């Protein structure tokens, strides 16, 4: 095989598996296999740069920075969609416009209204030649170099039969997880963080340097077409989307075809109930007549089509007033300013506290007590403060917030660690606030899962002198009368608490490691360390180099683990914990069975299991090499459904995921 043929073969292989991963959500090869072939292609192209093509997978890394964006005139305008309040009236107007009787059914293409940036892709004979933003609908900007970095967007269509010219319309967006990473990175670097995923996606697409765009993990779903020169073309929207998907273009997996106003309303309500579980931000749904001939008959009004409507969800932004600014101390000593605001409903949730992230961000936004502010929710537990509304109209006596020089909980000096924007109290577990947060983390559901040990009770136990640290929790069994005598406790509540503490002794090494709250050691890292070292004794004796021998453990996490174990106060705490009898956390973990049928499989749990707790099932699945996910996707191998399964059951059915009952799960585990 010639070198040129080898280059072509590698590009075809990478394009196919990119399609399996991003469009079908059903990869056939591991990331390591894909990366190895990608590096192989890079090496060949480095030897033969004259054979590099614009549609090669290696060209996604980003071209040289631009000085400006060129203008693009949309030959078919990218029109806006009208917002509708009453779907029944709109449905009646569609039937009237088509001259249909009340008995004639109208099918609608329904899809989530993803909050991103609308773009137009132009393919000539199957090759991507231009990507443009929507702009004002008639004129946008050429962002081809930036869009080529989006992994989900094919530079060359798969298959055959492509039109001479094909314009695809769709949405570039950022997932909530990618947005959280970008937001945290901006805050840590002292930069202005993006306000929401939509702004982040639009801003990333308009970076003059495409290499910056390449780092932003953008996604794309197509939702329509513009100009097309084809002899034959499907006459239903869902058939068009199916054809685009066959050619390698990703289509939203949550899109459906529904019938009549009832179908539209049902879809709207289902998407509203699933809104919090979706991996991307949506602000409503879009309903479009599915029949393209009917669309042509309905036509347009002003700058919007008569055949489409947008149904919006309640806003996730609201205005309120800052009543105070508090400083919270976390378990790692990080000081975080939090604004106390007048209670306001934001997207169905009552908000009274809004994070300000750090003191640099607080100073940049210049938030003061008494300010009127706009707050939003973008998937966060604690909402964000977007901006101060008309700061020029604030009370002239309002003063800027003074950055603390001592910890508000213990009075110890605070300092900024080199390379961080966060102020920290360096008093460690001598700080009562850090001790309290460490205990709460230790008792949390994903850690030791001590049911009933919440914020108020921990504070009460501390104030009564019953606990100083997490090791003291296991001494509470010696004073049941004092526990029962605490405010709002009683004998039964005390029994339940002590039983929950005793049951936590059975947690395995990975849960225990995560519960310790070591910086940079999350659940995945803790599980990796537990599997690699097997015992707490071996782990505590490991050097930084040995720790990095565990899968996915980098130098930063390794250094944090060594620092934690070497700290005298932590060493004393661990000695007390490891001296506790009948515990599971210092025992050897079950080794991972990489040869098991579950190895590498993604499994989702839903409903209530009768013979296993959710955490027990998760631990046993992971011990057999499975990955337990919280959401259903095309990559899900099995959905395990217990009693009263939730919406994940319907999602799995729609995606053709194999569904197991509890007995089938037990057979697999055995």
Strands (DSSP E) found in 134-194: 139-141, 165-174
Residue 373 CB-density burial (10 A; 0-12 exposed, 13-18 middle, 19+ buried): buried
Phi/psi at 651 (nearest 5 deg)? -60, -45
Q: What span, in angstroms and rounded, lies between the C-alpha atoms of 155 and 54?
A: 8
Q: Which residues on adjacent β-strands are paired with residue 218?
A: 174
Alpha helix ranges (H) inside 79-120: 87-98
- Would strands 658-660 and 636-641 be described as parallel, antiparallel, or unpaired? parallel
H/E/C letters for each residue in 236-287? EHHHHHHHHHHCCCCECCCCEEEEHHHHHHHHHHHHHHHHHHCCCCEEEEEE
Find tokens 């002003």 and name the residue.
Answer: 302
- What region does 639 belong to: left with phi over 0, alpha with psi -120 to 50, or beta? beta
Q: Is 101 helix (H, G, I), strand (E, B) or coil?
A: coil
Q: What span, in angstroms and rounded, lies between the C-alpha atoms of 51 and 3?
A: 10
- What region does 185 belong to: left with phi over 0, alpha with psi -120 to 50, or beta? alpha
Give me the catalytic one of 113, 195, 436, 648.
113
Q: What span, in angstroms and rounded, lies between the C-alpha atoms of 213 and 178?
A: 13
CA 517, 519, 520, 526 dihedral sign is negative
Give the HSE-up count for residue 551: Cα atoms under 13 Å, Cβ half-sphere. Answer: 7
- DSSP annotation of 141 reads E
Find tokens 């930063």 and name the residue.
Answer: 556
Q: Is 608 helix (H, G, I), strand (E, B) or coil?
A: strand
Q: What is the DSSP string of 619-650?
A: HHHHHTT-EEESS--TTEEEEEE-BS--HHHH
Angle (CA) 165-170-175 rounded to 5° is 145
Q: What span, in angstroms and rounded, lies between the C-alpha atoms of 91 and 96?
A: 9
Alpha carbon distances (Å) from 7 to 14, 21, 160, 361: 11, 21, 20, 49
| Token pair recorded at residue 57 | 């997978």
Check: CB of residue 507 under 8 Å from CB of residue 497.
no
Find tokens 């606030």 and name the residue.
Answer: 433
Q: What span, in angstroms and rounded, lies between the C-alpha atoms of 103 and 166?
A: 36
Which helix (H) or strand (E) segment holds residue 36: the answer is helix 31-47
Q: Is 554 helix (H, G, I), strand (E, B) or coil?
A: coil
Alpha helix ranges (H) inside 112-236: 144-147, 176-188, 197-205, 210-214
Check: CB of residue 571 under 8 Å from CB of residue 596.
no
Residue 113 a catalytic site member: yes
| Token pair recorded at residue 138 | 């008639």
Q: Which residues on adjacent β-strands are paired with residue 73?
A: 139
Q: Which residues are catalytic?
A: 113
């Amino acid at each position: 095989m010639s070198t040129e043929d080898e280059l072509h073969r590698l590009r075809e292989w990478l394009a196919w598996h990119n399609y399996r991963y991003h469009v079908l959500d059903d990869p056939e090869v591991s990331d390591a296999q894909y990366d190895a072939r990608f590096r192989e292609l890079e090496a060949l192209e480095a030897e033969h740069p004259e054979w590099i093509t614009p549609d090669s997978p290696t060209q996604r890394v980003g071209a040289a920075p631009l000085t400006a964006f060129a203008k693009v005139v949309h030959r078919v305008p990218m029109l806006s969609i009208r917002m509708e309040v009453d779907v029944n009236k709109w449905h009646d107007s569609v039937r009237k416009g088509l001259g249909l009787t009340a008995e004639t059914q109208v099918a609608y293409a329904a899809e989530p209204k993803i909050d991103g940036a609308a773009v137009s892709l132009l393919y000539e004979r199957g090759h991507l030649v231009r990507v443009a933003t929507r702009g004002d609908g008639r004129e946008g900007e050429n962002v081809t170099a930036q869009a080529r970095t989006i992994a989900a967007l094919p530079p060359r269509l798969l298959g055959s039969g492509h039109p001479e010219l094909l314009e695809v319309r769709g949405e570039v967006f950022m997932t909530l997880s990618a947005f959280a990473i970008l937001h945290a990175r901006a805050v840590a670097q002292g930069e202005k963080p993006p306000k929401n995923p939509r702004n982040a996606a639009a801003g990333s697409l308009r970076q003059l340097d495409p290499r910056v765009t390449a780092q932003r993990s953008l996604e794309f779903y197509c939702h329509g077409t513009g100009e097309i020169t084809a002899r034959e073309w499907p006459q239903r929207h869902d058939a068009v989307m199916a054809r685009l998907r066959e050619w390698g273009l990703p289509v939203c997996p949550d899109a459906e075809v529904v019938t009549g106003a009832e179908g539209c309303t049902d879809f709207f309500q289902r998407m509203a109930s699933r809104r919090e579980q979706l991996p991307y931000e949506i602000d409503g749904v879009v309903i479009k007549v599915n029949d393209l001939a009917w669309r042509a008959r309905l036509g347009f009004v002003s700058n919007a089509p008569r055949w489409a409507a947008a149904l919006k969800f309640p806003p996730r932004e609201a205005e309120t007033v800052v009543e105070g600014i508090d400083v919270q101390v976390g378990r790692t000593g990080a000081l975080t300013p939090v604004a106390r605001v007048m209670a306001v409903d934001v997207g169905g949730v009552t908000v009274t506290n809004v994070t300000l992230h750090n003191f640099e961000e607080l100073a940049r936004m210049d938030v003061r007590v008494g300010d009127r502010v706009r707050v939003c929710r973008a998937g966060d537990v604690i909402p964000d403060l977007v901006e101060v509304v008309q700061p020029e109209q604030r009370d002239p006596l309002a003063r800027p917030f003074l950055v603390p020089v001592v910890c508000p909980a213990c009075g110890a000096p605070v300092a900024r660690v080199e390379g961080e924007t966060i102020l920290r109290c360096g008093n460690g577990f001598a700080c009562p606030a850090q001790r309290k947060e460490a205990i709460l983390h230790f008792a949390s559901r994903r850690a030791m899962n001590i049911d009933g040990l919440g914020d108020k009770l921990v504070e009460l136990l501390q104030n009564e002198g019953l606990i100083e640290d997490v090791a003291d929790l296991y001494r509470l069994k010696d004073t049941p009368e004092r526990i029962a005598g605490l405010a709002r406790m009683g004998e039964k509540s005390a029994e339940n608490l002590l039983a929950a503490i005793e049951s936590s002794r059975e947690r395995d090494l990975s849960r225990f490691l995560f519960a310790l709250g070591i910086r940079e050691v999350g659940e995945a890292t803790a599980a990796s360390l537990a599997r690699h070292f097997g015992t707490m004794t071996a782990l505590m004796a490991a050097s930084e180099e040995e720790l990095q021998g565990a899968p996915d453990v980098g130098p930063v996490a390794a250094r944090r683990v060594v620092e934690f174990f070497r700290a005298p106060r932590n060493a004393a705490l661990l000695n007390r914990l490891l001296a506790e009898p009948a515990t599971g956390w210092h025992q050897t973990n079950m080794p991972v069975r990489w040869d098991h049928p579950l190895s590498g499989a993604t499994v989702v749990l839903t409903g209530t299991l009768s013979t296993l707790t959710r955490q027990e099932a998760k631990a046993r699945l992971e011990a057999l090499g499975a990955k337990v996910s919280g959401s259903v996707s095309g990559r899900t191998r099995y959905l395990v459904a217990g009693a009263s399964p939730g919406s994940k059951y319907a999602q799995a059915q729609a995606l053709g995921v194999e569904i197991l009952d509890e007995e089938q799960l037990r057979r697999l585990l055995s």
